[in-house]
């Protein structure tokens, strides 16, 4: 069992990587690992729960191992993670089981392969109640448990919260109006919230912190964006590394030893194999992740060569905590390898069902030993990882024997049937997943069975179309039309072209695309919400409301149709019905900022100021970057006569979104009312510049200029306001006074 580690180095590239995985030898290795696990457990159990280490599990989404300094990357700025590796153990090869966030995290947290835990894609599956999770084992052993996740695919609705007393999945609204809100939070916010919890938690505690930043789109904070202008992905990694430093400082400030394990759910293709991001293929570009751990009992500066796998995370952590792993677990503790003992490499299964579930193509399965990888596809591929780590030369024709051996192992693994874990997520969930570049479970009725490698260029066009449907709708229409020319039955592409048409103002074509979908099969809830929005914008409100009624009957638990109904009814001036719809939405989704904001705005409109405050205050308390809520709460404070409290709200809104005309006008108005008219003038001017002239902005500007001693400027503003609306008697009066009775 000694030779396998060396073979990974490529010293024996043609060697028996497949042979090392024969069942007999594997059982022997597992037996050895179980023995070590049991003895370690007994020793620590004798010490009692007080001696148990705290456990910090950090998963950095979308992090390729080979982009960290400690894994040999020259362009890295990752001193914190490199330092952690220097005072702990780093596994040179660690493999994820799926290139997708939810399935891979489910494997990390349960020690089970996707085939066993049943989470096969983002957004379309919920972790079933049967597998015992790492958090549950630790919680039962007396650990305080908390999770801080930063991406929507790990929202509590997908079942990952089990075993955590605190599950913080609060995502910020985000600042880019062209992206869907509430899809991710940045590393500074995640490390701050996790750090606060860690500082206050009594030992032993278990915290899982998930950073999302290296996931596309790559947008590091300004200083790192400048430094990594040509490689913003590395800038995101540097940002997470910096925040890791803060997190570790919080850990070190507390009592008790802490075991830290840092890994990732998958890598990023960065153009390799024609794939820009991740999710389609099962090559090492998106499967190799870092595995770094340090803490009590872990030697310093060791690099372990045995192949580590996602399913090994939970049993390894439980081993160090002195706890038994659940019996069903498929991974093994790698503690012996960390201690410098030889361990035989275990094979890794990997899969992506993305193309089948979303496009009606085929799914991919892979069987990976230390030296070889088989990718099972309509045209299977075999790679000699020792000689060809980039997986660029398919040797299946020349190396039939290796291929057959791997295939029979893969076949055995696939015979285990997964539990039924699927549920129907709401259209709102899908929208937020898609904003991250994910799509979910909308395969065409007539699947084409295309091999993903024959369609990767099409996938790239589809993804560009999905990503740009709102921001650059004309480009998105082109990309999606190109996709539809090849795959006319793909509902996803047609639905997204309908959205792109909507954002391009081509409402008729948007409605026509949804009608074309209906001709091919029943419309989904999401189709109906797109249809309703395009009908509303095309000023066909009754048809829009009828579409929303149909959507609500499809899934009475979905808040999205009710939110849109509230918006449509408000626009029609039917406030009472709008309020009822938003109330229902809030019942279904008690955290919904949209429902609260809508109700707050309706209360404000009818002068129920305190009620408006009761809806708006919790939004701002939960997310200090929610610009629309900041503005409306500022208006509430003004109406309550608290200009001094309103000002900082408006100031924050303008700082977050400097081109928001409503925030600019309100800030200017509050400055004027606080006797600071000269300061108000430029904000009124800016509001008019970015939002166009309105009577409110022009009148405010006129008054502010007047109070600043600029009578001529005031007259200009009043005059322009009167051309917009000549019926303003008071403004006409003011203009007469300012211009000394002459017009």
DSSP string computed for 341-392: ---PPPPEEEEE-HHHHHHSS--EEEEE-SSEEEEESSS-EEEETTT-TT--
**Least distance from C-beta 640 to Zn ion, angstroms?**
44
236 contacts Zn ion (rule: CB under 5 A)? no
Tell me how far, at minimum, the Cβ of 214 lies from Zn ion, in Å.
9
* Number of residues in contact with Zn ion under rule CB under 5 A: 3
Binding range to Zn ion, per CB under 5 A, among 97-105, 122-130, 657-665, 693-701: 97-105
CB of 153 to Zn ion, least distance (A): 7
Full DSSP string of 483-513: HHHH-TT-HHHHHHHHHHHHHTT-HHHHHHH
Query: Counting beta carbons within 10 angstroms of the beta carbon of residue 348, is it exposed (0 to 12), middle (13 to 18) or buried (19 or more)?
Result: buried
> Which range in 20-28, 60-68, 392-400, 546-554 contacts Zn ion by CB under 5 A?
60-68
In whole angstroms, how close is the CB of 59 to Zn ion at the nearest point?
A: 8
Q: DSSP for 24-38, please give it.
A: HHHHHHHHHHHHHHH
Task: Collapse the DSSP code of 559 into the 3-class scheme (helix H, G, I; strand E, B; otherwise coil) and give the result.
Answer: coil
**Residue number closest to Zn ion, CB atom:** 101
Minimum distance from CB of 307 to Zn ion (Å)? 21
Identify whether the C-beta of residue 97 lies closer than 8 Å to the C-beta of residue 348.
yes
State phi, psi for 375 to the nearest 5 degrees.
-110, 115
Q: How far is the CB of 138 from Zn ion (least distance, A)?
A: 23
Q: Which stretch binds Zn ion (CB under 5 A): 233-241, 248-256, 265-273, 695-703?
A: 265-273
Contact status, residue 620 vs residue 591, Cβ threshold 8 Å: no
Closer by beta carbon to Zn ion, 61 or else 513: 61
Residue 574's Cβ-side half-sphere holds a number of Cα atoms within 13 Å equal to: 14
Contacts of Zn ion in 474-493 (CB under 5 A): none
Min separation Cβ 622 and Zn ion, Å: 24
List the beta bridge partners of residue 258: 54
Closer residue to Zn ion, CB minimum distance, 437 or 700: 437
Q: Which stretch binds Zn ion (CB under 5 A): 259-267, 357-365, 648-656, 658-666?
A: 259-267
Q: Is 61 in the site for Zn ion (CB under 5 A)?
A: yes
Output 149 or 251, the one with its CB closest to Zn ion: 149
Q: Smaller CB distance to Zn ion: residue 167 or 683?
A: 167
Span of 182-190, 260-268, 315-323, 540-548 interacting with Zn ion by CB under 5 A: 260-268
Q: Which stretch binds Zn ion (CB under 5 A): 261-269, 398-406, 574-582, 721-729?
A: 261-269
Q: Between 81 and 137, name the residue whose CB sits nearer to Zn ion.
A: 81
Distance CA 646, CA 528 (A): 39
| Site for Zn ion contains 265 (CB under 5 A) | yes
Measure the CA–CA gap between 623 and 63, rounded to whole angstroms.
27
| 171, 152 contact by CB (below 8 A) | yes
Instruction: Give the count of alpha carbons within 13 A of 161, CB side only.
Output: 10
Compute how many other C-beta atoms are within 10 angstroms of the C-beta atom of residue 545: 20
Instruction: Report H helices in 183-287.
Output: 187-200, 222-227, 232-253, 284-287
Compute the least distance from the CB of residue 168 to Zn ion, in Å: 18
Least distance (Å) between residue 154 CB and Zn ion? 9
Nearer to Zn ion by C-beta: 61 or 241? Answer: 61
Q: Does 324 bind Zn ion (CB under 5 A)?
A: no
Interacting residues with Zn ion between 668 and 727 (CB under 5 A): none
Residues 6-45 interacting with Zn ion (rule: CB under 5 A): none
Q: Which is nearer to Zn ion, 61 or 234 (CB)?
A: 61
- Shortest Cβ 545–Zn ion spacing (Å): 38
Q: Which is closer to Zn ion, CB of 68 or CB of 294?
A: 68
In the block, residue with structure tokens 């290795």: 29
Residues contacting residue 386 through CB under 8 Å, at least 6 positions apart: 7, 8, 9, 10, 12, 13, 14, 15, 17, 371
Among the listed ranges 98-106, 398-406, 559-567, 635-643, the one in contact with Zn ion (CB under 5 A) is: 98-106
DSSP 88-138: SEEES-EE-S-SSHHHHHHHHHHS--HHHH---SSSSB---SSSPPHHHHH
Contact positions with Zn ion (CB under 5 A) in 493-532: none
Q: Does position 54 bind Zn ion by CB under 5 A? A: no
Residues 101-140, interacting with Zn ion (CB under 5 A): 101
Report in angstroms how near the CB of residue 369 gets to Zn ion at its nearest.
25
CA–CA separation, 247 and 348 (whole Å): 31
Q: CA angle, 154 as apex, 153 and 156 as ends, to 5°? A: 120
| Least spacing, CB of residue 61 vs Zn ion, in Å | 4
Based on CB atoms, which residue is closest to Zn ion, 435 or 671? 435
Stretch that binds Zn ion, among 57-65, 114-122, 249-257, 317-325 (CB under 5 A): 57-65
Shortest Cβ 306–Zn ion spacing (Å): 24
- List the Cα angle 101/385/264 in 5-degree steps: 20
Judged by CB under 5 A, the stretch of 118-126, 257-265, 320-328, 348-356 that binds Zn ion is 257-265
Nearer to Zn ion, 205 or 211 (CB): 211
Q: Name the β-bridge partners of 144.
A: 205
Q: Please provide the DSSP assignment of 640-701 as one string.
A: TT-HHHHHHHHHHHHHH-TT-HHHHHHHHHHHHHTT-HHHHHHHHHHHHHHH---HHHHHHH
Nearer to Zn ion, 122 or 660 (CB): 122
- The Cα–Cα gap between 184 and 171 comes to 5
Residues that bind Zn ion (CB under 5 A): 61, 101, 265
């Amino acid at each position: 069992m000694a030779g396998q580690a060396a073979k990974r180095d490529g010293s024996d590239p043609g060697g028996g990587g497949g042979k090392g995985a024969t069942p007999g030898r594997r059982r022997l290795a597992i037996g050895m690992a179980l023995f070590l696990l049991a003895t370690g457990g007994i020793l620590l159990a004798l010490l009692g729960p007080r001696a148990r280490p705290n456990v910090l599990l950090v998963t950095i989404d979308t992090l390729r191992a080979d982009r960290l300094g400690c894994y040999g990357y020259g362009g890295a700025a990752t001193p914190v993670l490199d330092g952690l590796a220097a005072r702990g153990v780093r596994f040179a090869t660690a493999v994820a089981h799926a290139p997708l966030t939810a399935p891979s995290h489910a494997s990390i947290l349960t020690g089970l392969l996707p085939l066993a835990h049943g989470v096969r894609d983002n957004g379309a599956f919920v972790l079933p109640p049967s597998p015992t999770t790492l958090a549950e084992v630790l919680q039962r052993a007396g650990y305080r448990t908390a999770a801080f996740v930063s991406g929507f695919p790990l929202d509590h609705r997908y079942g990952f919260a089990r075993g955590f007393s605190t599950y913080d999945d609060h995502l910020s609204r985000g600042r880019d109006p062209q992206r869907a809100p509430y899809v991710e939070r940045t590393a500074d916010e995640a490390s701050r919230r996790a750090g606060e919890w860690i500082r206050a938690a009594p030992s032993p505690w278990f915290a899982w912190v998930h950073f999302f930043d290296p996931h596309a789109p790559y947008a590091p904070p300004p200083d790192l964006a400048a430094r990594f202008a040509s490689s913003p992905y590395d800038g995101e990694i540097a940002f997470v590394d910096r925040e890791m430093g803060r997190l570790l400082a919080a850990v070190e400030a507390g009592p008790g030893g802490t075991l830290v394990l840092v890994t990732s759910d998958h890598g990023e293709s960065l153009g390799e194999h024609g794939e820009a991001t991740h999710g389609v293929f099962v090559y090492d570009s998106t499967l190799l992740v870092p595995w770094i751990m340090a803490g009590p009992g872990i030697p310093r500066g060791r690099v372990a060569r045995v192949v580590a796998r996602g399913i090994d995370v939970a049993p390894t952590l439980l081993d160090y905590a002195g706890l038994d792993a659940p019996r069903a677990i498929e991974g093994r503790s790698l503690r012996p390898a960390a201690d410098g003992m030889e361990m035989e490499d275990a094979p890794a299964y990997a899969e992506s069902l993305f193309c089948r579930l979303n496009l009606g193509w085929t799914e991919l399965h892979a069987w990976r030993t230390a030296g070889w990888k088989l990718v099972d596809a309509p045209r299977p591929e075999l790679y000699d990882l020792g000689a060809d780590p980039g997986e660029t030369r398919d040797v299946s024709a020349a190396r039939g024997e290796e291929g057959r051996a791997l295939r029979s192992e893969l076949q055995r693994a696939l015979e285990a049937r997964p539990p039924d874990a699927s549920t129907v997520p709401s259209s709102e969930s899908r929208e937020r997943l898609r904003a991250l570049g994910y799509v979910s479970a909308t395969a065409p009725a007539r699947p084409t069975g295309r091999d993903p490698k024959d369609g990767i260029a099409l996938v790239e066009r589809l993804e560009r179309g999905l990503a740009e449907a709102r921001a650059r709708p004309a480009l998105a229409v082109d990309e999606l039309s190109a996709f539809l020319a090849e795959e006319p039955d793909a509902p996803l592409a047609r639905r997204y072209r309908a959205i792109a048409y909507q954002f391009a103002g081509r409402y008729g074509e948007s409605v026509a695309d949804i009608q074309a979908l209906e001709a091919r099969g029943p419309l989904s809830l999401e189709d109906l919400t797109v249809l309703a929005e395009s009908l509303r914008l095309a000023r066909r409100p009754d048809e829009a409301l009828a579409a929303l009624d149909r959507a609500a009957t499809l899934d009475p638990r979905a808040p999205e149709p009710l939110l849109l109904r509230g918006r449509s009814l408000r626009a029609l001036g039917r406030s009472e019905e709008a309020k009822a719809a938003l109330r229902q939405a809030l019942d279904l989704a008690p955290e919904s900022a949209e429902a609260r904001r809508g109700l707050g705005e309706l209360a404000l409109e009818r002068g129920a100021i305190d009620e408006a405050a009761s809806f708006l205050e919790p939004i701002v308390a939960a997310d200090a970057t929610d610009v629309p809520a900041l503005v409306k709460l500022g208006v509430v404070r003004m109406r309550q006569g608290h200009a001094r409290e309103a000002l900082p709200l408006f100031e924050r809104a303008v700082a977050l979104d400097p081109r928001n005309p409503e925030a600019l006008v309100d800030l200017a108005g509050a400055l004027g009312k606080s006797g600071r008219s000269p300061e108000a003038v430029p904000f009124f001017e800016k509001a008019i510049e970015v939002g166009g002239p309105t009577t409110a902005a022009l009148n405010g500007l006129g008054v502010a200029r007047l109070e600043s001693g600029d009578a001529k400027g005031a007259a200009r503003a009043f005059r322009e306001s009167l051309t917009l609306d000549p019926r303003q008697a008071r403004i006409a009066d003011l203009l007469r006074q300012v211009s000394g009775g002459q017009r």
